[in-house]
Amino acid sequence: MTDETANKQALSESGAGSTILKEVPVEQAVGLRLAHDLTQIVPGTFKGRLFKKGHVITEEDLPRLLDIGKAHIYIMELGEGELHEDEAALRMALALQGEGTVLTEPHEGKVGLKSELLGIARVDPEYVAAVNALGEVALATVKTNVVVKPGQQLAATRAIPLVVPASKVEEVERLAREYRERSGGSGPVAVQPFSRFRVGLLTTGGEVYTGRIVDKFGPVVRAKLEAFGSEVAEQRYVPDDKEKIVEEIASMRQAGYDMILVTGGMSVDPDDRTPGAIKAAGADIVSYGTPMLPGSMLLMGYLDGVPIMGLPGCVMHDPYTSFDVLLPRILAGDRIVKEDITTLGYGGLHNC
Instruction: Indicate whether 22 pLDDT > 50.
Output: yes
Q: State how far the Cα of 157 lies from the Cα of 138, in Å rounded to an integer.
A: 6
Supply the pLDDT for residue 11.
Answer: 43
What is the reported pLDDT for 269? 58
Report pTM: 0.83
Region of poorest pLDDT, from 12-26, 140-154, 230-244: 12-26
**How high is the pLDDT of residue 101?**
98
Q: Which class in CATH covers the domain with range 83-193? A: alpha beta
9: pLDDT strictly greater than 60 = no
- What's the CATH number of domain 3-80, 3.40.50.720, 3.40.50.920, 3.90.105.10, 3.20.20.140? 3.90.105.10
- pLDDT bucket at 36, cuts 50 / 70 / 90: confident
- Average pLDDT of the chain is 90
Residues 6+ apart with CB under 8 A from 33: 54, 55, 56, 57, 75
Give the range among 203-207, 215-219, 226-230, 291-295 with minimum mean pLDDT. Answer: 203-207
From CA 134, how far away is CA 83, in angstroms rounded? Answer: 16
CB-CB neighbours of 154 under 10 Å: 25
Q: What is the mean pLDDT of residues 136-151?
A: 98
Which of these ranges, 45-59, 130-144, 202-216, 283-297, has the smallest mean pLDDT?
45-59
Domain ranges of the chain: 3-80, 83-193, 198-345
Whether residue 261 contacts residue 309, with contact meaning beta carbons closer than 8 Å, is answered with yes
Answer yes or no: are the C-beta atoms of 83 and 166 closer than 8 Å: yes
- Intra-chain end-to-end CA distance of the chain, in Å: 48
Look at residue 12 and tell me whether its pLDDT is greater than 70: no
pLDDT for 8 equals 52
> Per-residue pLDDT averaged across 267-287, rounded?
84
In the predicted structure, residue 10 carries a pLDDT above the cut 50: no
| Confidence label for 55 from pLDDT (cuts 50, 70 and 90) | confident
The predicted structure's pLDDT at residue 18: 64
Confidence class of residue 162 from pLDDT cuts 50, 70 and 90? confident
Q: Using DSSP, state whether 270 is helix, strand or coil.
A: coil
Write the class of the CATH domain 198-345.
Answer: alpha beta
Q: Provide the percentage of residues in the chain whose pLDDT is more than 90.
A: 71
